[in-house]
Amino acid sequence: MSVTEDRVWTDRAGAPISCVEKLRVLRENERDVQQTLRDAFEDAVLMGVDPDTMRRMLQDMVAALREPGA
């Protein structure tokens, strides 16, 4: 996993986000989330959790996310 500078972030209408500050925050958040996921995954596997089980659990957590205010 790596943050790519050429990733296109879009708004609800599908238009690309172009604000430099918003893009900086999005990339920073992406890096932080990637590192946290990597650490949690490695910890679980090192403690004996099946890697596929951990992947499913992480996917379930993401699927359960709701929009702010929802």
What does the pLDDT look like over 12-21, one tens digit per residue?
A: 999 999 999 9
**Domain-by-domain residue ranges, the chain?**
20-63
Burial of residue 26 (CB within 10 Å: 0-12, 13-18, 19+) is middle
| H-only helix segments in 6-64 | 20-46, 51-63
**Tell me, what's the pLDDT at 6?**
79
H helix or E strand, kind and range, residue 49: none
Q: What is the pTM of this model?
A: 0.79
Residue 62 CA to residue 39 CA, distance in Å, equals 16
Mean pLDDT of the chain: 94
How many Å apart are CA 45 and CA 59, to the nearest integer?
Answer: 16
